[in-house]
Structure 1
Amino acid sequence: MRDIAMEVYKKMKVGGVAWIRPVSAKGDTLDSFQAAHDSARLLEQEGLIDIEKVQRQADGLIDAIRIQRLA
């Protein structure tokens, strides 16, 4: 399984803001995307990013995460 949060983090500049979303062309599903939130929380605990917003669907599944790169 690919680490979507780390892929987005590596492409960002310090201070940059981005949305992390599942990409169906790369095989992501909403179910598999839930692991991206766990990965983003680990990056936040390390002080590398700030999770600004978590967007959820009506059924509670996360469909987008907005992050800001701190380091």
Structure 2
Amino acid sequence: MRDIANEVYEKMRVGSSAWIRPVAAKGDTVDSFQAVHEQVKQMAEEGLITISTIKRQEDGLIDAIRIQRLA
């Protein structure tokens, strides 16, 4: 599984924000994307990012997370 959260984080500048979403062309699915939420929470606990928004589908699965880079 790709480390989507880390890929997005490394491309960001300090203070900027970005959406993290599954990319079908890279083999991501909404089901596999659920693990990214745990990665993002860990990064937030470490003080690297803040979580701005979490978008969910009608069935409750997360399909997008907006983060802001702090460090």
- Give the TM interval when normalised to the shorter protein: over 0.9
TM-score normalized by the length of structure 1: 0.99
Q: CA deviation at 1:42?
A: 0.5
TM-score normalized by the length of structure 2: 0.99
Deviation string for 1:4-59 (max 9, x for gaps)? 00100000000000000000000000000001111000000000000000000000
Structure 1 residue ranges, 4+ long, deviating more than 3 angstroms after superposition: none
Q: Take 1:36 and 1:10, find their aligned partners in 2: how far apart are those partners?
A: 15
Q: What does residue 49 of structure 2 align with?
A: 49
**RMSD between aligned residues:** 0.3
Long gaps (5+) in structure 1: none
Superposition pairs of residues 19-34 of structure 1, within 5 angstroms: 19-34=19-34
Long gaps (5+) in structure 2: none
Q: What does residue 4 of structure 2 align with?
A: 4
Q: Take 1:7 and 1:36, find their aligned partners in 2: how far apart are those partners?
A: 11
